[in-house]
Chains A and B, each alone.
Chain A
Amino acid sequence: MMTEMTETKSNKKIRRRRTLAAVLLVVSLLASIIFMDHFLCIPATFDQNRVLLFHKEPADSIDVLLIGSSTTYSGFSSAYAYDQFGFTSYPYAIGGSTCNIWKPALQDALRTQHPKLIVVDVFGGGYDLDLVESRNSQVYTIMTHTPLSREKIETAKELSSKIDRTTTASLLLPFIKYHNSVPANLMDLKDRLDVASSGPSPLKGIETLTRTRELADVDDISFTDETAPLDEKTEAVINEFMDYCKSKDLNVLFVKYPTVLTKNDPDELQVNLRANRILEMADEAGFHTLNMQKHFHEIGLKEREDYYNHGHTNTRGQKKVTGFLGDYIQNELGIAPSDLSDSLRTEWDDSVRYYGAYVEMSEELINKGDPQPMGDSPKLVRELKKRLD
């Protein structure tokens, strides 16, 4: 009897230990996957930081939201716009974005912000979707930071059906797509954790390159209002986006940033002509539109001095474009700055100081002939802080 009781006790103990080990294994695996999914999957790029840091901005604190591709974040400085016009803004933009990124980006941004104006950069829409379907990493950059919800699942299902080489599961858990990047990404874990644990960034998602254009690209034309037809897929995606904006009753300005067009690059010219067509569509649909290409000389842009390549401005051009666009937003569209709380004002005033240091550093590097990408990152913030201190 005693022996049986001892055996039962011992069996129970073994069973308990086994259950504990199994539970511990499952929990450890899940915790590791969640940690890696959050911090170690998507490459720690400026794009990634920009989206992550957007969500650090206090809720409903952004007056103007800018979405689009690289022309947005290189062409617009939120800090400079705040300094000149007083409204707050943020470039929720991802390099290489095509038009099918606009809707998920806007959906994600609207979770926490209700801006008075949304500025959509049409340039990325000029890329034929059939030709750039492999560009799907942007959508992962957005989805990584969206908390799990029914809407997120719906969005993932929708995107995976429309964007090549994506799956619903991997959009919900980017680890499924990016697990192989984990070992390499371990190298910059500290920066990733810094971004994750920091507050709003004083650089407000800015990014540009410290260079002026090569002299070889001199065959420039400044403006054409010709259009080129969009492929069916792109047209459908843009119409859907416009319908979405209307359904949400959003105040939207479709804008084309000024680029240096060159006759030597017919493909790029086609992208611009298609972007013109998107502006035409937006105009027909009753949205505000602004083709800054038309105002190239009015803005005071210089083809070589203000650009680091044909499509993107350096800090010199950025200030000019921001000035022009900010003025348009304030005076033509009547967007007035919101009253800011003391803490918000301090935060934005701080960003103006940082932008001053950013421009100063950029000028130094341009003059030195040292082309460096300068994007929002903990490392750059630390460097600029040193300058300011």
Chain B
Amino acid sequence: MALTSVPFAIFAIITGILYFAFPKREYRWVILLISGCFFYVYNSFQYTAFILITILTIYLAANRMAAITADTKAAVKAHKADWSKEERKAFKEASGKKRKRILAAALILNFGILFLLKYFNFLSGSVAQILGSDPEAAPQIHLLLPLGISFYTFIATGYLIDVYRETAEPEKNIFKFALFVSFFPQIIQGPISNYGKLRDQLITPHDLDWMNLKHGIMIICWGLFKKIVIADRVWVAIRAYYDNGGIDGNADAAGYGGVMVVFITLMYALQLYADFSGGIDISRGICRVLGIELEMNFRQPYFSKSISEYWRRWHITLGAWMKNYVFYPIAMSDMSKKISGSIAKSSFGQTAAGKHLSRVLTTAIASFIVFLLVGIWHGANSKYIAFGVWNGLIIMISAMAGPLYEKSRNALHIRAEAAWWKLFQMLRTFLIVLVGYVFDIADNFSNAMRMMGLALTDHSLGAFRSQLGTLGLGKTEYLSVIACTLILLYMSIRLEKTALDTPADLLERRSGVIQWLALFALIMMILILGTYGPAFDPAEFIYMQF
């Protein structure tokens, strides 16, 4: 039941009707829970046990940790008079260790499941290859990935760490916690919601509100426009490129040159953004109708002026998760402090470069690790690891070479606020992003390198023009992609300038007639230009596979 399918639309509408019509307002959240369970079982029946294990173990672990915390506080309070400071400290440390053990056990179990299902086969094959044996003969787990496992594992473990850090209260009601983990609009491809931001919204009853309904429908339509008008159309060309051997060893037979590599990479950038952000818009739109505000996951990422900014605008909730639960623990760890301290104390640490390095080295290393994990999160393949390493390296180098970069800019008398400079920064960042995407497009690391080599050396425009027809799109379809991309670009510029969240917010400033016409035009574009019906084989949302 894909987000863009008719059955899903019917399911979402029925859920909405039942939710708003349910007479006992305080139990409306139960409708969402039942819908979530139905959706999961319907789509991933044979893997339901995995999400149940996650719900159960995280729920129990969080409550056990909270109970230990409460018991510790009560004991400390009760023994305030008869315990010495050392005794109190020792007792607290012992409790802390217990909590840490519970946290570790729950994290190992849940990430272990994720690892086994998602990465074991890749790792087993790689190890076999390194040891010189046949990777295909290596032990394999023959299971598909449970729906949304990367997303719900991160959502649930994020909550657990928050409870461990005591920044979130543990959920006492297991059904309410199950709702948080299995909430159907976000289970397919995120966003990776934060418990503190979502919990109350899910439990609090909402009534049908005209503005929410109108905005929600507009956001859903905008998401559909991005997904089925742009992303799925462009996917036809990308798939044809794949099928014609553009990404593998048969590339010579296909005869695609460097210009085609650049073109497909641009198409991929468009498709990936339209696909993922379109799906998120559909989820957010459904939630808006229900009166629930999901976290923003994209903020015009291709307008970023640096790679670190790009990752603050692209898949924002994954970035936030990584920052909270991976980056900070590494950057703030005793080991990091020690490394920074030892550099600062050394003779090199007394120089300007040394001082800078002592400040940024550990954060740069933490960033690198984060992006390595981001790459691995995307999938079990050397190309995703290369994608993560590429992004991590760029961020690491940028952080370490920051002063040099500033000096060069000053020496060239370039104003940081100059429009052309900002545009240059955007284009430069986009180019770096595109290089990362080549790893994504290719079927493995070596082919990614081959494609990049082609892009740098083969610039035959004539061959490219004659090969455009092999990508499965006709002239009208190319024109429709161009026109719709321009609409997307225009809306992105408007949103960037106004700092608003969605096109629905932009339209809210216009008259009712304009809003009506815009919605009508948007729906007509989806109906006419959308890739649906028996003539098409719809592409699944790319991020579903992660």
Enumerate chain A interface residues (CB-CB to B < 8 A).
17-18, 21, 24-25, 28-29, 32-33, 36, 165-167, 170, 175-180, 182-184
Contacts and interface: CB of A to CB of B under 8 A. Distances in A.
A165 B535 contact: yes
Contact of B533 (A28, A33, A177, A184): A177
Contact of A179 (B210, B477, B516, B527): B527
Contacts of A28: 520
Interface in B226-280: none
Interface in B521-546: 523-524, 527-535
B213 to A, nearest CB: 9
Contacts of B523: 29
B512 interface: yes
B534 A29 contact: no
Contacts of B84: none
Contacts of B95: none
B476 interface: yes
A176 B527 CA distance: 8
Contacts of A29: 520, 523-524, 527
Dominant secondary structure at the A interface: helix
Given A170-B534, A178-B533, A183-B480, 20 more contacts: A21-B512, A21-B516, A25-B519, A28-B520, A29-B524, A29-B527, A165-B534, A165-B535, A166-B534, A167-B534, A175-B527, A176-B533, A179-B529, A179-B532, A180-B477, A180-B535, A182-B528, A183-B528, A183-B529, A184-B476
A371 to B, nearest CB: 25
A10 to B, nearest CB: 14
A32 B477 CA distance: 22
A180 B528 contact: yes
A166 B534 CA distance: 6
Nearest to A28: B520
A184 B478 CA distance: 13
A179 B512 CA distance: 28
Contacts of A179: 527-530, 532-533
Contacts of A167: 533-534
B133 to A, nearest CB: 43
Contacts of B480: 183
Nearest to B483: A183
Most B Cβ at <10 Å: residue of A28, A165, A166, A179? A179
A11 to B, nearest CB: 11
Contacts of A33: 527
B524 A32 contact: yes
A24 B527 CA distance: 17
Contacts of B527: 29, 33, 175, 179
A25 B529 contact: no
Contacts of A170: 533-534
Interface size on B, as a range, is 10 to 19
Interface string B469-490: 0000000110010000000000
27 contacts: A18-B210, A24-B516, A25-B519, A25-B520, A29-B520, A29-B523, A29-B524, A36-B528, A165-B534, A165-B535, A166-B534, A167-B534, A170-B533, A170-B534, A176-B534, A177-B534, A178-B533, A178-B535, A179-B527, A179-B528, A179-B530, A179-B532, A180-B528, A180-B531, A182-B528, A183-B476, A183-B529
A225 B534 CA distance: 40
Q: Which 9 A-B pairs have the closest CB atoms?
A: A176-B533, A177-B533, A182-B528, A167-B534, A165-B534, A179-B528, A170-B534, A177-B534, A177-B535
Most B Cβ at <10 Å: residue of A17, A24, A32, A167? A32
B516 A25 contact: yes
B484 to A, nearest CB: 12
A178 B531 CA distance: 10
Nearest to A15: B210
Nearest to B526: A179
Interface in B489-526: 512, 516, 519-520, 523-524
A17 B535 CA distance: 39
Interface in B428-482: 476-477, 480
A170 B476 CA distance: 22
A103 to B, nearest CB: 20
Contacts of B524: 29, 32
Nearest to A33: B527
Contacts of B477: 180
A21 B520 CA distance: 11
B241 to A, nearest CB: 21
Contacts of B516: 21, 24-25
A188 B507 CA distance: 35
B536 to A, nearest CB: 9
B481 to A, nearest CB: 12
B534 A180 contact: no
Contacts of B512: 17, 21
Nearest to B524: A32
A175 B526 CA distance: 12
A58 to B, nearest CB: 35
Contacts of A166: 534
Contacts of B520: 25, 28-29
Contacts of B529: 179-180, 183
Nearest to B537: A165
Interface string B338-362: 0000000000000000000000000
Interface in B184-217: 210
A170 B529 CA distance: 16
Contacts of A184: 476
Contacts of B533: 167, 170, 176-179
Contacts of B535: 165, 177-178, 180
A170 B524 CA distance: 18
A166 B520 CA distance: 28
A348 to B, nearest CB: 40
A149 to B, nearest CB: 22
Contacts of B534: 165-167, 170, 176-177
A178 B535 CA distance: 8
B230 to A, nearest CB: 14
Contacts of B532: 176, 179
Contacts of A25: 516, 519-520
Most B Cβ at <10 Å: residue of A17, A28, A180, A183? A180
A183 B524 CA distance: 12
